[in-house]
Structure 1
Amino acid sequence: MDQLPRMLADRYEVGRLIGRGGMAQVYIAYDTRLSRTVAIKILRSDMAADETFLARFRREAQSSAALNHPSIVAVYDTGEEEIDTRHGLVTLPFIVMEYVNGQTVRDLLADGDPIPIDEAAHVAAGVLSALEYSHREGIIHRDIKPGNIMLTPDGSVKVMDFGIARAMADAHSSVTQTNTVVGTAQYLSPEQARGEVVDTRSDLYSAGCLLYEMLTGKPPFTGDTAISVAYQHVSEAPVPPSSVTADIPDTIDRVVLKALAKDREDRYQTAAAFRRDLLSAVRGQQVTAPATSAYAVPAAAATALMGTAAIPAAADGAPATGSYPPYQTGQLPAQREKRSNSWLWAIIVLLLAILGFIAFQVFAGNDSPEEPTPTVELVEVPNLAGMDQQEARAALSDLGLEMTIGEPVETDGVESGLFVSANPPVGTSVETGSTVEVVFSAGVGETTVPDVTGLSVDAARRAIEAEGLTWGSTTTVDNRPEFSEGEIVSTDPAPNEQVARGTVVNAEVSSGRVTVPNLLGMNVEIATAELDARGLSYRIESSPTDEADPDTVIGQDFREGSIVDQGQRITITVAVAPPTPSPTPEPTTEEPSPDPTTDPTDEESNPRATTTGPPETNPGRGN
């Protein structure tokens, strides 16, 4: 395992490994200068000595850095670093890119199920938007496939990995002329499979393969070997998507099959035209693509890989059956008509030669000495368990077999870098000289625990399982008033923690109930704050007493430790000072002096004054 330094270029703090590819590894990192999370792609140490890979890696940096589009992963910086590897000190180039938090379309298709039509069209439209921009800038991607398309949580589409992207001005370089096929077999255009010069329409063919797989759950062509798949791209017509998934409308079929036309002249000529037709098809509108019957490959068609020309069959002066697509006038251009006639005569001559050879064998075979049948030496594909790439290559070479490396896979039980599987499988008898595709482990895949606090149990389970994690047990907890009943309070492992895929995530769920505290002896303000913190309401009653300080709680209607629902009203009794009694007047023996201002004859102030009639005559006296 390469020992990466903690800091690259005295700026980028390197974190965990988040991806592996055919020629590079990708790490999450932190840009200490600009305070942002980035992804750093570093060339694999075993590729550093190969000038071809170095050139491709540097070309990726140059190609990607020239592109600035919301649907293309941005390149921020490049550099080289001397790294201590198992191959010794090696100077490795690296690319600093935009970090995209999401999943690839390959992950989305991992279970083999198709994607809903609207969603597939959205992804394809995003890819075509990115290609429209890159083609306008003179860059051909050359490796459009599900593993190179990222989907962010907000639904954005990001095209990444311009590792074999080429400038159009460089399209005639020796890499093409020497018949080196670059790209991924299931998404190769016919011209790529033949080793011909590619152009922007090759990317559109690959985008058509991507759309086909999203709609049906599988690519248009499959096979046991890359060569067999490439041959199908050149010589066989794909089954219409609706034949695989019945709910796909005819307009979508027509768009996909036009994108997959063998002759690039019959495909969409620009990404914009492809995108317009696709969106029109999704909306139920008319499309420019012809009927699906136009794309049947002629029965006699045969095409060789790596530069050999196609051999279409045609009648005299008539267009070849199922050409790509038929011309609207019903006539082939003169150049194609002439070429078809030439190949027709060539086929006739070839068939006559074969028939003559067969006749000779039948009639003259008995007079000819029998030649020995050549012996084919067979060997079994060995068990490469526990071997790394170097050891596996040596083991296969000892048996006369060649090795190609497949896409690494995440595994729980196999250490990173060791053998996982072979194609043909272990134990299969194959001819010496055959090629065996070997897949190695990318280690246990990691993912981030999503933050599901505050969600319902069902919503949390769906979010957890969507990240490749296993939903575990739930525990109900009291006294979490910030969460309603049934909401997730916490998870173990905690949110945003990096864990291996398949990790069990347990959760705590709020019961919606709280414990009543002991409020006796508290100041009323402290007591009510305590109730607020527990999500309880309250009612305050006063009680005069001199046995407790004023504003002190002296009673509560729910006892300490009672479990109640959040929002329950608690009545508390608060002490208030008793009222002060009125003072009692002291008794006196002296008669109060009359008020000198008072007139004794005043009726209002003198109660003894007579209020009615003349003075009463004393009956005991005479007049």
Structure 2
Amino acid sequence: MTDEPVVLGGRYQLETVIGRGGMAEVWRARDLRLDRLVAIKRLRVDLATDSTFQARFQREAQAAAGLNHPNIVSVYDTGEKVDPASGISVPYIVMELVKGQTLREILRQGRVLEPAKAFEYTMGVLDALSSSHKHDIVHRDIKPANVMITPSGSVKVMDFGIARAVSDTSATMTQTAAVIGTAQYLSPEQARGEPVDARSDIYSAGCLLYELLTGRPPFLGDSPVSVAYQHVREMPIPPSQLDAEITPEMDAITMKALAKSPDDRYQSAKAMRDDCWRLLNDEPVTAHLPAVVPSSAAAPDSSTTPTRALPEQQEPDQEAAEGAEDTFYTEEPEPPRKRGVSAATVVLIGLMVLLIGALGLFAWRLMGDPSNNEVPVPAVIGFEEEAAVELINGAQLTPRVERVAGPAEGKGTVIRQSPEGNATVLVGSTVTLTVNEGPPVSEIPAGLVGMLQDEAVALLREAGFTKIEPLPAPAGLDSLDAREGEVVRVSPAEGSEVATNEQVTLYIASGMTRMPGDLVGQDGTTARSTLIAAGFTNVTTQSVGVGEESPTARAGQVVRTSPTAGEQVTRSTPIVLYLAQGRAVVPDLVSDSLTQAQALDRLVAVGFTSVPRIEYRTVDDAALVGRVVEQSPSAGETHDKTVPIVLWVGAQSSSNSPPASSNGTTSAPSSPEGG
């Protein structure tokens, strides 16, 4: 058996870790009160005492809890639980459990998205941002890893861990000494450490759209700093230059979102979303390619280089009518005329330049310090793949990722590297990172609910699952209709794709039910049918002894049951129906000198139902007149309660007419047959 499951807040039972990040881990859990699956994000224990991380974690809960939108992962509850090992109070957030894949996982699979699909996903992100911006919440970390796509194609934006209210965005990375956001999706104002508003999210959404269209971020670099520099100073290559399927309108929307100045971007998520809708519905978009302004580092002196609009390439007779477009270029000043140089001179100068360059390279290799070309390899074992690759790139090395199956613990992290950390290698060398991609994954088979335990266990083992734990079904699940040993619930649910070494719990019915309370008094056949219809499988009948049944019981009528009415038993428990024989012992009506009326009462008392026939016999003893002097059947015999009964009553010898019988009939005196 496994250890006692961890329950948070008295209602959330942790099941398995489904994700890890820099500051928290995410668990799949079951809400025992509402009987539903949820996701629970717990701050790492080693960070729980850090006020900065505590505040960021609390900010995420507050930001997301205030938002209610179908494209935003819902927050249900928050709380804290003391870690038993350290005694530290660890906060947690209870969230909607979303099935699906992140856009980062989809992109890593090498799947090429159709441009239309890229814009559809982006519209879902923009709908979510529009809702958060209405509540003055800036996400500040829009990236593929924070966007989930459900199996039905819905978009879910998650991780508001660094979100802030617009009024609080002055707390930038320059104040926290940490880059807030991910380098490849930072807005220029984020990269500069300036206050940001909702338009910063528009830029990040533009980076996301760019990657969905082209398969790569708008800027690549050896380090996060170099990428951030490009966000601030350089314009990205238009997507259409990387993929011929991308139209000028798609370029226009993407490049407008990526404008360096917030004023040149879409001014709201809704405005960008509406332009994406127009594009998908073949309507004109509002975006135009933004002005391309050379960076100051590369631009000639503006005092000597006038800038003018470059007309769109078109027929000469259209230029005057349509004027200049928005694209700008730098016009070189016309150099002074010089005397011509012969072709031979040009060739000779070129050869001399090549020779000098070759000699310089030879001398550098001969006398230069080789150590200037060597760098230490970062130690990245235990890092998430994305962070490890970024560190290797930042060290001017080339990462190569290999993936192997491994335990769920540490999924997505580097477990080996070659060369090892801190080894010295040449710049540009390849570093092989072996990443744990987790255990093999299989689908929980359908149809387990309703099977018997052994059948369900066998089917799960066939599917590759190794940790299967049957547990008694709790009171709320133990249906009275389920057979003993029948599976009434599976966790994780049928159809879920989970690691084969993850625990699968089968909740098993006890098969208990209550004995019906209306069986006594029914005939045996009816009572037996009632029990079989209720699911009981072992029903027998047994006759009670003479004298054990009530005087009024008919033959074949149930007089008692075992177990008794209302008892809770399994449906395989032996059930005995005790049936009346409908027989009774004939009482002695003669020895006690009973009157005719007294004899009738005694016969009824023991259960005989037929009306006795009264005969009269002349007696010499006056004390026997009106008394039963003989009976048939005889006393002590056992008969059906419906057996005919004859009573002989004493009569006076001098009387020629017999007295009236108690049942209203009279009969002449005679002797009983057979004496």
Query: TM-score by structure 2 length?
Result: 0.51
Residue 103 (1) aligns with residue 101 (2): yes
- Alpha-carbon deviation of 1:83? 1.5
CA contact (8 A) 2:379 2:420 kept: no
Equivalent position to 2:376, from 353, 374, 381: 381
How big is the shift at 1:446? 6.7
Q: 1:412 to 1:268 in 2, by over 3 A?
A: same
- For residues 154-173 of structure 1, the aligned pairs below 5 Å read 154-173=152-171
8 Å Cα contact 2:147/2:155 also seen in 1: yes
Superposition pairs for residues 506-585 of structure 1, below 5 Å? none
Report if the CA contact (8 A) 1:213-1:220 is conserved: yes
3-state SS, counterpart of residue 52 of structure 2: helix
Q: Does 1 or 2 have the higher relative contact order (CA < 8 Å, sep 6+)?
A: 1
Is residue 2:241 matched to residue 1:243? yes
> Which of 128, 142, 155 is the matching residue for 2:126?
128
Conserved 8 A contact 1:60-1:163: yes
Alignment pair present for 1:7 and 2:1: no
**What letter corresponds to residue 139 of structure 1 in structure 2?**
I
Counterpart of 1:449 (choices 435, 443, 449) is: 443
| 1:24-103 correspondence runs (5 A) | 24-84=24-84, 88-103=86-101
The answer on whether the counterparts of 2:406 and 2:439 sit within 8 Å (CA) in structure 1 is no
CA shift for structure 1 position 13? 0.7
Specify the alignment match of 1:219 in structure 2: 217
After superposition, the C-alpha distances for 1:443-502 in whole angstroms (9 at most, x for unaligned) are: 61675617689xxxxxxxxxxxxxxx99xxxxxxxxxxxxxxxxxxxxxx9953654389
Could you tell me which amino acid in structure 2 is paired with residue 449 of structure 1? E
In the alignment, does 2:499 pair up with 1:500?
A: yes
Q: Which one of the candidate residues 126, 136, 139 is aligned to 2:137?
A: 139
Letter in 2 for 1:100: V
Identical columns (%): 45
Structure 2: 5+ residue runs without aligned partners?
311-321, 327-367, 388-393, 448-462, 465-491, 503-675
The alignment partner of 1:196 has SS state of coil
Q: What secondary structure does 1:229 align onto?
A: helix
Match runs of 1:358-373 below 5 Å: none
Deviates more, 1:60-69 or 1:376-385: 376-385
Does the Cα contact within 8 Å between 2:172 and 2:194 map onto a contact in 1? no
Shift, 1:70, TM fit: 0.8
Q: Secondary structure at the match of 2:83?
A: strand
1:470-481 paired onto structure 2 within 5 Å: none
In structure 2, the CA distance between the partners of 1:4 and 1:122, relative to structure 1 (3 Å rule), is: farther
Deviation (angstroms), 1:196: 1.0
Q: CA deviation at 1:156?
A: 1.1
Match of 2:660 in 1: none
Q: Distance in 1 between matches of 2:125 and 2:30?
A: 28
Do residues 259 (structure 1) and 257 (structure 2) align? yes
Residue identity opposite 2:222 in structure 1: D
- Identify which of 292, 296, 300 aligns with 2:292: 296
CA distance in 2, matches of 1:421, 1:231: 32
Distance 1:140 1:411, change over 3 A: farther
Shift of 1:284: 2.5
**CA distances 1:529-574 after superposition (whole Å, capped 9, x unpaired):** xxxxxxxxxxxxxxxxxxxxxxxxxxxxxxxxxxxxxxxxxxxxxx
Closer/same/farther in 2, CA of residues 215 and 166 from structure 1, 3 Å limit: same
The match for 2:227 among 229, 237, 253 is 229
Contact between 2:377 and 2:419, CA under 8 Å: does it hold in 1?
no
Alpha-carbon distance change, 424 to 202 in structure 1, aligned in 2, over 3 angstroms: farther
Q: Which amino acid aligns with 2:129?
A: L
User: Aligned-pair distance for 1:301?
Assistant: 2.9
AA partner of residue 412 (structure 1): A
Q: CA deviation at 1:82?
A: 1.0
Deviations 1:213-238 (A, max 9, x none): 11111111122211111111111211
Q: Which runs of 5+ in 1 are unaligned?
A: 304-310, 323-327, 333-372, 394-400, 432-436, 454-468, 471-492, 504-623
Q: Give the Å deviation of 1:330.
A: 8.0
Please tell me whether the aligned partners of residues 140 and 200 of structure 2 are also in contact (alpha carbons under 8 angstroms).
yes
Amino acid at match of 2:47: M
Matched, 1:412 2:405: yes
Q: Deviations over 1:382-436 (max 9, x none)?
A: 5858x557xxx9xxxxxxx99xxx9x998524884464477999555489xxxxx
The alignment partner of 2:38 has SS state of strand
Question: What is the Cα deviation at residue 381 of structure 1?
Answer: 3.2
AA partner of residue 212 (structure 1): Y
Task: Give the Cα separation in 1 of the matches to 2:419 and 2:287.
Answer: 39
Instruction: Quote the offset at 1:113 in angstroms.
Output: 3.8
> 1:20 — aligned with what?
20
Q: SS where residue 108 of structure 2 aligns?
A: coil
Compare CA radii of gyration and give the structure with the larger one.
Answer: 2
- Name the amino acid aligned to 1:90: I
Q: Distance in 2 between matches of 1:448 and 1:23?
A: 29
Alignment partners' CA distance in 1, 2:370 and 2:163: 44
AA of the residue aligned to 2:495: N
Distance 1:11 1:64 in 2: 21
Q: What is the CA-CA distance between 1:441 and the residue it aligns to?
A: 5.7
Equivalent position amino acid for 1:496 in 2: G
1:201 aligned counterpart, secondary structure: helix
Which residue in the other structure is 2:271 paired with?
A: 273
Residue equivalent to 2:113: 115
Distance 2:261 2:418 in 1: 31
Distance 2:136 2:418 in 1: 37
Quick one: which amino acid aligns to residue 46 of structure 1? D
Cα distance change, pair 245–163 in 1 and its aligned pair in 2 (3 A): same
> CA–CA distance in 2 between the matches of 1:166 and 1:409?
37
Determine if contact 1:416/1:442 at 8 Å carries over to the other structure. Answer: no
8 Å CA contact 1:77, 1:95 repeated in 2: yes
Q: Secondary structure at the match of 1:13?
A: strand
Residue identity in the other structure for 2:108: A
Task: Tell me the distance in 2 between the aligned counterparts of 1:424 and 1:258.
Answer: 43
| Aligned counterparts, 1:298-313, within 5 A | 298=294, 300-302=295-297
Contact 1:419 1:438 in 2 (8 A): no
Aligned counterparts of 2:174 and 2:308: Cα–Cα separation in 1? 29
Given that residues 406 and 436 in structure 2 are in contact (C-alpha distance below 8 angstroms), is that contact kept between their aligned partners in structure 1? no
Following superposition, the deviation at residue 112 of structure 1 comes to: 3.4
How far apart, in 2, do the equivalents of 1:320 and 1:182 lie?
38
By how many angstroms is 1:207 displaced? 0.5
Matched, 1:151 2:149: yes
Q: Relative to 1, partners in 2 of residues 1:218 and 1:171: Cα closer, same or farther, differing over 3 Å?
A: same
**What is the Cα deviation at residue 329 of structure 1?**
10
Whether the 8 Å contact between 2:18 and 2:28 is mirrored in structure 1 is: yes
> Amino acid of the residue matched to residue 250 of structure 2?
I
Cα distance in structure 2, aligned partners of 1:411 and 1:22? 22
Distance 2:402 2:136 in 1: 34
What secondary structure does 1:40 align onto? Answer: strand
Distance 1:79 1:295, change over 3 A: same
What's the counterpart of residue 569 of structure 2? none
Distance 2:204 2:54 in 1: 25
